[in-house]
Amino acid sequence: MPATVVKAPELLKLHNKAGPRHLDGLLNFFLFLSGLCAALSLCFQLGCLEISAACLKMYFEGNPPANQFLCRAYLCQGQLKSPPATGSVEDFEEAVMYFLKAIEISKQEPRFHFMVFNASVLYFQTVQPLLQPGRSLHLVPSLREVVQSLEEVADQDHSWRAELMMHLIKCLVDLKKVEDATSFAKVTEEFIKSHTPNLYPGLFTLLVNTTLMEVLCSRCDWRDSQSVVVIPQARLKEIGKLDQWLQTAVREGGPQAVQAVCATQWNLCLPLLQHNLRKCIKTPLLRVAQALEETQSMLLELRCQVHSELAVTEEEEGRLEASLTHLQKAMLLDNGTQQERLSSAFRLVQLRQTLYQTPSRIEDKAAKLMQQARDMPPQDKTDFRSVLVAVGLLLAPDDFQMVLDADDTSKSGLGSGPVTQLAAKAQHHSTSIQRVEGHLDKQGSDTDHTEMCVLWATLVKTARKHEVWDVCRAACRFCLLYDDGRWKKTDKGESCAQCLHGSSESQSFVHLLRLLAEIRFISAEVCSY
């Protein structure tokens, strides 16, 4: 280690004791030496951090004048105070304060303007760990000051200034200052056009467009999150705008912008994924799926969801081959958590394709009948009910008709008086409903209870949709037999949070619990009919 580095603290002590009237020529030398020692210890890692800190401490205690040596000392102090990547925002703000002090002094004298650039570089290196969503919002005040200072001194490294400006846009987005971000994004683009024509339309302009695209998408997300009631016409208008932005992003070749638009488009489309509305968003979702596929996006879960919903839309329109294609893509993109649901959907569409073939499994027969019922025109209500009853009889041959008869008062053997009639109705209803209780015990050990539960739930929702209330009530009773606690805990003892992001088995349990909750709501609803 150089001897001058080791002796620096002692020399500074000597100067402090001598006072300002002595050693004036030597003063500037040691002031420079102090800054130099700190810089060397940081840059070349000579192990002088403690010595550098001691030098700087004594230097600041001497109330030094505002000159280039003080700027250098501030830059060294900022580097010494730089926290690790996991440091708190307060720790980063303490380090940033010294860089901003150096910048403020450097701006005052033209011959020191070069130090504004140096300080901006050291500042940016220090705050790198904060440049991530959720943390970058804390950089808005300091980064804005750095960018403004580079403009004030007319720094000639325009590409560096453009890069900082784009980071400022993203920080404003993180702070949810959407209007400021949009406005500053346009200023940044104009800056690039004016000062770096050789780069336009090049890398930096593409990045500005990407950032602006993300800002516009964020605006859609925030405005949407504040609305309580979804108005389809207004939502479709926003979806149309995003569809245009997506095509622009694809032409510009920016995968980051493509992903930002696709994710926002998906969020906007979610409330419209209903039977009577999903056809309106088919084309935008097809473009989302295609764009993510062409850019080989790693948003695999999003891609899986988009293909899954497109499969439902295609099936409802009778385009079974297209539906199967989307389901195949979804299964390839799935990480295993949706495997059972997607495989079941794939099998049901295949069954629908084989219209003139009779399946061998009872479950497949029931599923195929429900598919046929869905394809029947609304006016065929009589035939529709008979098909749904046939499904119930397939799933519970010995019990479904008895439970269905619970609502048929003509079979209750009514007496003559009002009280006798009411008693007969109650007795008939009670006797019929009791047939449900032993239903699960009659099923064989090889029965797939998960599949049966889903089939009963499908029968419930299909009957409800077409207002076949007695079939809906009876199907609810059988479906809710499976809500007996069997899926509340997994064999692995996973918590609820682990289930939401866990294995395929855990995801299946979560899906079934949600399904059973939905059936309970429907059951409560149909009891009033």
pLDDT tops 70 at residue 476: yes
Range of the domain at 410: 372-439+447-483+508-527
Calpha distance 392→455 (Å, rounded)? 10
User: Got the DSSP string for 222-290?
Assistant: HHHHT-SS--HHHHHHHHHHHHHHHHHHHHHT-HHHHHHHHHHHHHHHGGG-STTTGGGGHHHHHHHHH
- What is the pLDDT, as a whole number, of residue 415? 54
Instruction: Read off the pLDDT of each residue in 308-334 and give the average, rounded to a whole number.
Output: 93
In a domain, 135, yes or no: no
> pLDDT band for position 400 (50/70/90)?
confident
In a domain, 157, yes or no: no
Mean of all residue pLDDT scores within the chain = 78
Interval 90-146: pLDDT, tens: 999 999 999 999 999 999 989 999 999 999 999 999 999 998 878 899 999 999 999
The three state secondary structure string of 456-487 is HHHHHHHHHHCCCHHHHHHHHHHHHHHCCCCC
Residue that wins the pLDDT comparison between 423 and 34: 423
Interval 157-170: pLDDT, tens: 998 998 899 899 88
pTM given for the model: 0.53
In a domain, 457, yes or no: yes
- What is the pLDDT, as a whole number, of residue 429? 61
In a domain, 515, yes or no: yes
- Counted residue by residue, the chain has a size of 529
What percentage of the chain has pLDDT greater than the value 70? Answer: 71
Calpha distance 259→25 (Å, rounded)? 61
Tokens of 295: 């850019």
Looking at the structure of the chain, the number of domains it has is: 1
| Rounded-to-10 torsion of CA 25, 27, 29, 34 | 180
Interval 108-124: pLDDT, tens: 989 999 999 999 999 99
Q: Which distant-in-sequence residues (6+ apart) come within 8 Å of 237 by Cβ? A: none
- What is the pLDDT, as a whole number, of residue 195? 86
In a domain, 353, yes or no: no
pLDDT tops 70 at residue 511: yes
Residue in this structure with the two tokens 């050291």, named with its chain if needed: 122
In a domain, 304, yes or no: no
In a domain, 41, yes or no: no
Q: Which amino acid would we find at residue 103?
A: I
